[in-house]
Structure 1
Amino acid sequence: MRCSDEFIPIDMSLGLFGAVHPQHGVIWTDGKAIYLAPIHVHGHQVQNATSVRLGQFEHVTSVHWSCPGTGVTTTNSSAAASTTQSQPETEAGPPPCHLCVVHQQNVTVWRVSGALPRLSFKQVRKINVRPVPQGCLWHPSNDVLCLLSRHQCSFYFRHDHNKGSYAFPSLESGKISCGCWSPDGKKLILCIGSALLIYRWEDVGRSISDFSASAWRIPG
């Protein structure tokens, strides 16, 4: 990928999962800093754009956008372990959202609002979890961040106010290697050894603790 006349050294091992935001553009890292490259599409051609450095860190493994609009939320307090629901946007620019930054020892969550050149980039959360590669899974339509470590699947939500979290019991055997949300956000699939664990929700935004689970073992 090129940005202006300078080659951007994006290492696939650093993670491009969740790197593109439809309004803000491409977020990327060189392992130390985070950069934002706006996307300008004319016809079927992507125009070069100058990257802007958002922050400098000691170490960055990967960066992941949440879905657009998750930064404008209200709390649904009527349900146990409730998450949040998006509300109409009132700030200038794209609706606020969140950005997950994976470091060596922890994960930080940042609120992104406004638009370049007046983009606001503010840390709102620090989570002491070391996720597996591709272990940061933003929900497709809520502010729920699922973090997968080797033996734990944890959920974090309401990042700006009244922070919430929920976790499945730790695994006594086997290790989590990867996972993904279904496109409608009603299922989470985890791969543990030779088995797939499938969790189903009617509405994650109403109660993340209200789910059913099943397992499917890979033959052979």
Structure 2
Amino acid sequence: MELGNGKLLRTGLNSLNQAVHPTHGLAWTDGNRVILTDLRLQRGVAKFGDSQVIGKFEYVCGVSWAPLSIAHTPTLLAIQHQKHVAVWQLCPSTSGSSKWQMSQTSEIRESLPILPQGCVWHPKDAVLTVLTAQDVSVFPNIHRDGCRVKVDINTKGRIYCACWTLDGQRLVVAVDSSLHSYMWDSSQRSLQSCSFCPVFQVSRSIRSIAATADSQKHVGPAEERAVLLCEGKLRLSTVQQMFGLYLVEMLHDSHWILLSADSQGFIPLTFAASQMVVVRDGSLSTPELARGSPSHNRDPILPPGGFGDFAAQNADTAGCFSSVA
């Protein structure tokens, strides 16, 4: 069934992002109208029903539903325009028909154009994140007041996209070729840089990120072990035997380094008690690395517990270990 025709703002834009509501169906736009189409799943097959126009505007960039959160709260729909976002509430028609009516609850205005898919809802609450090329703002109580929490991004790079982890505890923002991670405190309505790995560098520009698991989960078969230190030192052979690896890479200052051993077999680093160390299989890198020559032109994978719940890379983390005195 063809819903309509319209120009996408750029190649590969996901025009149906956050567009399906389990009760109200599919919300979409042709650039001027916002249309609601009944959508039902019958024996695993999507079936489209009637459509109705619920709003007409001068220009619409996109639409996205707020999540189903607390019971008895209104159904919210964010309508993205060029430099502002209008949040509308869906209500049953007062005429007694099956159609829905919209009423605007709040409006957000920005000095710069809002990014394509620049409206990102919190996965569990009516908390809206709005992105421009220079700023990220979080609106924690969008249907009641216009309270704004600006994300402190300590860089002059260009913002491209952002997403929440599925548990709603962390917001990750892509700035050029780096991922910036922030912990969300819902009670204080504040964001703080992630203490474990606040910034993670990727070797190429990032244009899209998506959460694939809760913050407590990892990508790949990660294992966690505890080891004993010898005056802050650790033998490379111990790590190799723990995870069954020949070449071992360790996450160090947001970069992956290939571990080697000194003349006594120790890793030439000093570890602290209770320190968490993330390692992976170094032989999965490149043929040059497998022969002992590190390559600096490949994509690093995302470490577990830091950014490991975002789909972006293609290698598996071997595991991590905690050092004890």
Matched, 1:107 2:90: no
Task: Give the match for residue 268 of structure 2.
Answer: none
Give the TM-score, by structure 2 length.
0.54
- Indicate conservation of the 8 Å contact 1:151/1:171, yes or no: no
SS in 2 for 1:133: strand
1:137 shift after superposition: 0.5
1:168 shift after superposition: 1.9
Task: Give the match for residue 57 of structure 1.
Answer: 57
Task: Give the match for residue 127 of structure 1.
Answer: 108
Matched, 1:176 2:159: yes
- Indicate conservation of the 8 Å contact 1:68/1:96, yes or no: no
- Indicate conservation of the 8 Å contact 2:54/2:100, yes or no: no
Task: Give the match for residue 4 of structure 2.
Answer: 8
SS in 2 for 1:159: coil
Structure-1 separation of matches of 2:115 and 2:143: 25
1:193 shift after superposition: 1.2
Structure 1 spans left out of the alignment, 5+ residues: 70-85, 90-94
Matched, 1:160 2:143: yes
Task: Give the match for residue 18 of structure 1.
Answer: 18
Matched, 1:208 2:189: yes
Counterpart code for 2:62: S
Cα distance per residue 1:28-56 (max 9 Å; x no partner): 00001000001123223332311100010
- Indicate conservation of the 8 Å contact 1:189/1:197, yes or no: yes
- Indicate conservation of the 8 Å contact 1:152/1:171, yes or no: no
Cα distance per residue 1:94-118 (max 9 Å; x no partner): x522111111221111112348724
Task: Give the match for residue 34 of structure 2.
Answer: 34
Structure-2 separation of matches of 1:171 and 1:215: 10
1:171 shift after superposition: 5.6
Change (3 A) 1:180 1:97: same
Greater alpha carbon shift after TM alignment, 177-186 vs 115-124: 115-124
SS in 2 for 1:147: strand
Task: Give the match for residue 279 of structure 2.
Answer: none
Query: Quick one: higher RCO (CA 8 Å, sep 6+), 1 or 2?
Result: 1
Higher strand share: 1
Segments of 4+ moved more than 6 angstroms: none
Structure-1 separation of matches of 2:134 and 2:153: 6
Q: Based on CA coordinates, which of the two structures has the bigger radius of gyration?
A: 2
Counterpart code for 1:100: A
Number of equivalences: 192
Task: Give the match for residue 217 of structure 1.
Answer: 201
Task: Give the match for residue 48 of structure 2.
Answer: 48
- Indicate conservation of the 8 Å contact 1:152/1:168, yes or no: yes
- Indicate conservation of the 8 Å contact 2:86/2:104, yes or no: yes
Structure-1 separation of matches of 2:189 and 2:31: 33
Structure-2 separation of matches of 1:198 and 1:172: 13
SS in 2 for 1:49: strand
Greater alpha carbon shift after TM alignment, 157-166 vs 35-44: 157-166
- Indicate conservation of the 8 Å contact 2:89/2:102, yes or no: yes
SS in 2 for 1:51: strand
Greater alpha carbon shift after TM alignment, 149-158 vs 166-175: 166-175
Counterpart code for 1:8: G
Counterpart code for 1:56: K
- Indicate conservation of the 8 Å contact 1:112/1:119, yes or no: yes
SS in 1 for 2:17: coil
- Indicate conservation of the 8 Å contact 1:40/1:47, yes or no: yes
Structure-2 separation of matches of 1:60 and 1:121: 16
1:125 shift after superposition: 1.2
Task: Give the match for residue 76 of structure 1.
Answer: none
Structure-1 separation of matches of 2:100 and 2:115: 30
Identical-pair percentage: 29
Root-mean-square deviation (CA, aligned residues, Å) is: 2.2
Structure 2 spans left out of the alignment, 5+ residues: 204-296, 298-325
Greater alpha carbon shift after TM alignment, 36-45 vs 53-62: 36-45
